[in-house]
Structure 1
Amino acid sequence: MGVKQEDRDIAMQTAEQLAQAIKEKAHELGFELVGISPVSDPPHEQSFADWLQEGYSGEMAHMARTEQARRHPDTWLPWARSVVSVAMNYYTPFPHEPHQASAPTGWISRYAWGEDYHTILESRLDALFGWIRHTVGDEVQGKVYVDAGPVLEKGFAGLAGIGWIGKNTLLISPKHGSYFFLGELFLSLELLSDSPIRNRCGSCDLCLKACPTDAFVGPYRLDARRCISYLTIELKGGIPTQLRPLIGDHVFGCDICQEVCPYNVNIEASTVPAFQPREGLHGPELIPLLALDDEQFRSQFKGSPIKRSKRRGFLRNVAVALGNLGSAESVSALAKLLSDPEPLIRGHVAWALGQIGTTEARAALHEALDHETDPDVKAEVEQALTADAPSR
């Protein structure tokens, strides 16, 4: 198929006109926000280095491994001249409602209610790149990234004028808030860049004050090791005992610092079918989740971001939430998991039973103590038996 005359005309246009045509095509493909920036060191690359040096990245070792590439993109993409940054809204207007005593429920971050966003954004960015090559010529080089690879996404998106990085370290758009996914298309084309927009957080610090785990060391400074999203998703081992009560009913991610942001009031909901809540993911009932084996977990969360936590991490989180909710009706289901093959699950189940503290819960812990062989889990059981269940 030959190049259409209208596409040939676009190819002959100036860098400014081509940039505008690319933006229009990106909007046509479903990206609400689009901006272009040059390939340069991101403006906050030194802050990123300092963040790593302070140890605030926790167990996310890939951040340190790719530090230089993230700070200096020209070292691994020497041909790239421009970055097209895009954003897709995933907000759906369903509130975080309190659980019912008869059926304790948890909270999953909104971004994980639908299908895995990586595939969706990548396919649309691939389509955009295909259109650019069809229009300008096959000699154009390009590389697509969606929350993967050594890219400081928020830095490039900020340079491209999509939004500013707020005090909660999230990118905020004055019209669209912060509930959106980011993606990038690096190109060998010289395109007219957009201008950054000014930071509009002002004196507002609602996000900093709302964090239950005090994860913000200060404005624009997050200690990921205390962040609920990190603790329930990125952390692969045990959740620190002192932080467990602060997690509340969160079982995968957290939206608190977004929920209180004034720029997320009265924003439009996403119309993308794939981002709408899958059955049971908005305020999921927690007790049935305890019965999932590995195969059932993989089947239930196929194509969902939740799958990355694996069964061991997800049931760890569910147990902590049930302990925080003081869910006496969950004791029987929790007690069964005291013999689960996974020590991580057994240890957090023991903690949860200690928090619930009913006669049945303590009996299950005493029985577990008699046959538990893992020293870490045994310590969790012993500690649970000495804990005083909070008054509720």
Structure 2
Amino acid sequence: MPEAHRDDKEQRRRDNLTEFVRAESAAKGFDLCRITRPDAIPDAKQRLGEFIEAGRHGTMEWMAETRERRGDPMTLWSEVRSVVVFGLNYAPDEDPRSILEKPDRAAISVYARNRDYHDVIKGRLKEIATRFAARAGADVKVFVDTAPVMEKPLAAAAGLGWQGKHTNLVSRTHGSWLFLGTMFTTADLAVDKPENDHCGSCRACLDACPTAAFPAPYQIDARRCISYLTIEHKGPIDPDLRVLIGNRIYGCDDCLAACPWNKFASSASEMKLQAREELKEPSIAFLLTLDDAAFRAFFSGSPVKRIGRDRFVRNVLIAAGNSGEKTLIPQCRTLVDDVSPVVRGMAVWALSRLMETGEFSAFAAQRAEESDDDVRNEWRLAGVN
């Protein structure tokens, strides 16, 4: 076979497979589908290394443990030739920051107000991968967030958007509200052009951060990020940051919601990603009543469930302490006797914020001698010796 004819045949096959995966993506409800090469993010490994060396990953040791595989897709899978990146819109139908003006209510990040997106996306990716592998005769692997894959740099290289100054992906059509998933394959596919950075001089996302978690544009220190503190961090939260958390009990959307590109985003059409009514503005008083069984039942199918009841109630107690709602005092007093040390300690802090000085001092005098080290530490932080 003449070489030119063979090249034409390979080009047609590449184009056909590329169109096939795009059609499958649309059929499964994805809003965006772009393709890049595994070697398209050469700077990612160095940036990741600098982030970890600076300690900005906090207690997320898994980032350091997987840094080699995470920094280079070909280290993760040496045979990969093409990376298909999928985007699914999860934009809310209103500004999620409006709940911050309701101190008796708890703010749950938009992405966690319904089904766990990992389950929604991975199931669809597996279906696409199965059909694609059968058509292409190629090997495939799919990933959704949990594997050591740097989805955001790959998405930017594929042209879904660009990494904004808040380090998250920004799309010209969907703003900051995109879930990402990837399909690695040994097939040779036509690649897309990367998207240019359109942040310009805007710093809305940086200025919106309640805890100043951005040391500089395009850099984040997870140790100050409310999403990290309320989801990934397992122990007591720095007292200086608690007041800044406000009523955010699981994640934070402030930097995402502040992005001007969101004006082009339409609300999510996928029913499984639209907010459940009971998760839009749950009352802090109700959430303080949740034991382990009730917590698991209320957050069934939600990603909130993965942090566990104790860490969750720790977060709710911070919101209670910030609420100024004295009606929450009895519940906080009850939680001083909780089985979880982190809950007991945070209940003390919440009471130190809600009680009048004399009332709290009397309560502390009564209970301090009975307390364990975790709670005694909170007494000390509250000014009780």
Q: Distance in 1 between matches of 2:240 and 2:226?
A: 13
C-alpha root-mean-square deviation of aligned residues, in Å?
2.0
Report if the CA contact (8 A) 2:310-2:343 is conserved: yes
Measured against aligned partners, the alpha-carbon deviations of 1:242-275 in whole angstroms (never above 9, x if no partner) come to 1111111100000000111101125201111111
Report if the CA contact (8 A) 2:100-2:107 is conserved: no
For structure 2, the 5+ residue unaligned runs are: 1-8
Q: Distance in 2 between matches of 1:98 and 1:360?
A: 30
Report if the CA contact (8 A) 1:168-1:221 is conserved: yes
Q: Distance in 1 between matches of 2:361 and 2:33?
A: 56
Secondary structure of the equivalent of 1:237?
coil
| 76-85 vs 13-22, greater mean Cα deviation | 13-22
Secondary structure of the equivalent of 2:207?
helix
> How far has the Cα of 1:355 moved from its partner?
1.1
Report if the CA contact (8 A) 2:173-2:264 is conserved: no
One-letter amino acid of the counterpart of residue 33, structure 1: L
> How far has the Cα of 1:379 moved from its partner?
1.9
Q: 2:275 aligns with which of 245, 258, 277?
A: 277
State the match for 1:196 in structure 2.
194
> How far has the Cα of 1:362 moved from its partner?
4.7
Report if the CA contact (8 A) 1:353-1:365 is conserved: no
One-letter amino acid of the counterpart of residue 23, structure 2: E
Q: Distance in 2 between matches of 1:207 and 1:217?
A: 13
Matched, 1:262 2:263: no
Alignment of 1:145-160 (within 5 A): 145-160=143-158
Secondary structure of the equivalent of 1:186?
strand
> How far has the Cα of 1:367 moved from its partner?
3.0
State the match for 1:124 in structure 2.
124
> How far has the Cα of 1:20 moved from its partner?
2.2
Q: Distance in 1 between matches of 2:44 and 2:272?
A: 33
Measured against aligned partners, the alpha-carbon deviations of 1:54-82 in whole angstroms (never above 9, x if no partner) come to 00000010100000101122123122110
State the match for 2:378 in structure 1.
380
Higher helix share: 2
Measured against aligned partners, the alpha-carbon deviations of 1:22-77 in whole angstroms (never above 9, x if no partner) come to 11220111110110011126242211111111000000101000001011221231
Q: Percent identity?
A: 38
Q: TM-score, normalised by structure 1?
A: 0.91
Q: Distance in 1 between matches of 2:361 and 2:349?
A: 11
Q: Distance in 1 between matches of 2:100 and 2:178?
A: 27
Q: Structure 1 residues 118, 229: closer, same or farther in 2, change over 3 A?
A: same
How many residue pairs get matched? 374
Q: 1:215 aligns with which of 193, 213, 216?
A: 213
Q: Structure 1 residues 124, 11: closer, same or farther in 2, change over 3 A?
A: farther
State the match for 2:242 in structure 1.
244
Measured against aligned partners, the alpha-carbon deviations of 1:127-170 in whole angstroms (never above 9, x if no partner) come to 11111123223xx1111100011101101111110000000000
One-letter amino acid of the counterpart of residue 120, structure 1: V
> How far has the Cα of 1:176 moved from its partner?
0.8
For structure 1, the 5+ residue unaligned runs are: 1-9, 388-392
State the match for 2:48 in structure 1.
48
Q: TM-score, normalised by structure 2?
A: 0.93
State the match for 1:3 in structure 2.
none
| 340-349 vs 127-136, greater mean Cα deviation | 127-136
Q: Structure 1 residues 99, 34: closer, same or farther in 2, change over 3 A?
A: closer
Report if the CA contact (8 A) 1:207-1:260 is conserved: yes
Q: Distance in 2 between matches of 1:218 and 1:149?
A: 27
State the match for 2:28 in structure 1.
29
Measured against aligned partners, the alpha-carbon deviations of 1:354-385 in whole angstroms (never above 9, x if no partner) come to 1113365554433331311x213112024325
Matched, 1:113 2:113: yes
Secondary structure of the equivalent of 2:236?
coil
Matched, 1:166 2:164: yes
One-letter amino acid of the counterpart of residue 323, structure 1: G
Alignment of 1:342-381 (within 5 A): 342-358=340-356, 361-372=360-371, 374-381=372-379
